[in-house]
Amino acid sequence: MMTEPDAATWPDEIFAALKAESIQQVAYVPDAGHARLIERCAAEASMETVSLTTEEEGVALLAGAWLGGARGVLLMQSSGVGNCINMFSLVRTCRFPLLMLVTMRGEAGEFNPWQVPMGGITPELLRLTEMDVRILDRADAAGPLAGAAARDAFSGGAAVAILISQSLVGIKTFDSAPRETKP
């Protein structure tokens, strides 16, 4: 179970690792799970953050960043992986590095049934695209795992995805107000 210190520190540990690995471009679709990491990256002068309309735009953006000599990372939620499947063929065919941080939905405790199908197949889908998939389920592993993933991606032209467990991100809930019923 997540503790308060874990909730506060794992995004900071990932940020420190990204900075140490000279990440300059941060592409993201707004996501509560990545909120602190996005805030940290946006406040960092050496990083350019780009809010995307859809996740697959990030794949193309980071291909261009790499061709221009910059390292980047794509932040998204697991539901966005499905939006990127076709664009992952670009990564596979051209063999450019891609580093992705994916906050998971659809795991144990998920309240939204629409998140469960994609959440359940995200690791397998990424592996089918020849992506190196790593699971982050302990806050104390966040920095070392992000640093190693970045080094592996950028030193060998690999595609690496870190799946951040819902146990770290937290389970989303929506309080439902009582509905007014008509007689």
Q: What are the structural domain ranges in the chain? A: 4-169
Confidence of residue 131 (pLDDT cuts 50, 70, 90): very high
Nearest Cα to 82, choosing from 27, 36, 51, 128?
A: 128
Q: Is 93 helix (H, G, I), strand (E, B) or coil?
A: helix
Q: What per-residue confidence (pLDDT) applies to 144?
A: 97
DSSP state of 77: E
Q: Extract the tokens encoding 24.
A: 């300059």
Confidence of residue 170 (pLDDT cuts 50, 70, 90): confident
Confidence of residue 171 (pLDDT cuts 50, 70, 90): low
Confidence of residue 169 (pLDDT cuts 50, 70, 90): confident
DSSP state of 115: G
pLDDT at 128 exceeding the cut of 70: yes
**For the range 79-83, what are the long-range contacts, defined as Cβ-Cβ under 8 Å and sequence gap of 24 or more?**
79/105, 79/115, 79/118, 79/119, 80/29, 80/54, 80/55, 81/55, 81/118, 81/122, 81/125, 81/126, 82/118, 82/125, 83/54, 83/55, 83/56
How high is the mean pLDDT of the chain?
86
Q: Which residues contact 8 (CB under 8 A, 6 or more apart)?
A: 36
pTM of the model: 0.87
Is the model more confident about 97 or about 3? 97
Confidence of residue 116 (pLDDT cuts 50, 70, 90): low
CATH architecture type of domain 4-169: 3-Layer(aba) Sandwich (3.40)
DSSP state of 107: S
For the stretch 24-71, pLDDT in tens is 999 999 988 899 999 999 999 999 999 999 999 999 999 999 999 999
Q: What per-residue confidence (pLDDT) applies to 51?
A: 97
